[in-house]
Amino acid sequence: MLKKLFPAAFLVALLLASGLFLVNRNPELPPCENNVTYSLSPDVNGSLGVLVVYMDPGISHERAEAVFDAARDVGAKWVRIGFIWAIAEPSPGEYNFTEFDWIINAALQRNLLVLPVVMFTPRWASERPDARNYYLYPPSNPEYLREFARALAAHYRGRVTHWELWNEPDMAGFLKDPDGDGSTADDYAEMLAHFYRGIKEGNSSAKVVLGGLANSKAEPSCEGSYLRKLLSDPEFPAGRNFDVMNVHTNFRNPWEIVEEMREIRTVLQEFGLEKPIWVTETSYTPVKRFQILPCYRGEEGFERYVHNALVVELNEGAEVAFWAALHDYGGDRPESDPYKYSGLYTYDLKPKGAAEVFRNLSEELAVNGSR
């Protein structure tokens, strides 16, 4: 069904930051010490999650169950999946939750908490219904999104506790600028306000997670100062319209991750806000030609990166840190994509050494939490 709705080239990028500019990053990095492994602080008791790609209506139930089994077995507490608005509401007020119900219930049966990412506007609701990529535009009437959010939260009350709106709205490839002012921050701030209101109307105890910001200083397609723009929006100041701050840290050095999280906390404080922080994408690669970090080379470097990046995020106060992705991407992902082999498992769900690293860290967190 997804392939009928969206171009295949975009499908393979679902819920994943663009890697096109990673190899062009500034090589002037501070010196590092190879083979350093960071330690989890004894008072940290956050949790781990995994991004699960291809988990959309149309996936075979056998495959979906095997994927969720792998997520459970590796020690994930959360799974982050796409929730495609264009599929769930094909026409105004006509909701089709059947396959989403099955997917979410399958995860819950394995004691996996689900973070759905609501994205992709239906054609009937799109600001640009005639555009080839109509689904990347905001709704023509934000009330459409509010009504959908209300229906979602009510339908999944007792099953879904957190809802994320959009993925990387600060990236030009994920949210389009309909008014041509050079920024999508005003559009997203308005969407977020209506989404938040709808979620709370449908389930007052549900939490709204800010769309994970790519927050990249290196990628030209990433809009700068996005969080500050959202929080200072004159009509829809975002601080009142989300419960959980959310950021991505893909391909960053651990020290860069620390700086990023502290900068985010500083920006929030400038606006008098104190929000829990989640990191819903942390990613790297075992493919040597894409390993841009000098201290993390080869398969061993990949495994150590999985550990170190997640540890510094948790030590810096992330309530949940997600690895992206649970398994490698399939054959529709080109070999030129740095993210293709970022999984803890191969595409056919054979565990890599990184899976054991992730599992061990999950077990360490469980011990911390029981103290």
User: Where residue 369 falls among pLDDT bands split at 50, 70, 90?
Assistant: confident
Cα distance between residue 272 and residue 202, in whole Å? 28
Domains and CATH numbers, the chain: 40-370 (3.20.20.80)
Residue showing tokens 């050494």: 353
Cα distance between residue 312 and residue 321, in whole Å? 10
Mean pLDDT, the chain, whole residue set: 92
Cβ distance 66 to 100 under 8 Å? no
Cβ distance 341 to 287 under 8 Å? yes
User: Where residue 307 falls among pLDDT bands split at 50, 70, 90?
Assistant: very high
CA atoms within 13 A on the CB side of 236: 18
Residue 54 has pLDDT above 60, yes or no: yes
Average pLDDT over residues 194-198: 99
User: Where residue 218 falls among pLDDT bands split at 50, 70, 90?
Assistant: confident
Residue 28 has pLDDT above 60, yes or no: no
Helix 185-202 to helix 142-155 angle (10° resolution) is 40
CA atoms within 13 A on the CB side of 232: 8
How buried is 90 (Cβ within 10 angstroms: 0-12 exposed, 13-18 middle, 19+ buried)? middle
Give per-residue pLDDT as tens, 115-136: 999 999 999 999 999 999 999 9
Beta-carbon count within 10 A of 283 CB: 24
Stretch among 21-35, 49-63, 176-190 having the lowest mean pLDDT: 21-35
What token pair was written down for 106?
């399958």
pTM (predicted TM-score): 0.93
Query: What is the reported pLDDT for 41?
Result: 94
Query: What is the reported pLDDT for 146?
Result: 98
Cα distance between residue 12 and residue 183, in whole Å? 25
Query: Please, what sign has the CA dihedral across residues 333, 71, 261, 274?
Result: positive
Cβ distance 262 to 295 under 8 Å? no
Give per-residue pLDDT as tens, 146-183: 999 999 999 999 999 999 999 999 999 999 999 999 99
Residue 80 one-letter amino acid = R
Cβ distance 291 to 333 under 8 Å? no
Cis peptide before 206 (omega within 30 of 0): no
User: What is the DSSP secondary structure assignment for residue 90, as one 8-state letter?
Assistant: S
Residue 15 has pLDDT above 90, yes or no: no
Q: What is the percentage of the chain residues whose pLDDT exceeds 70? A: 90
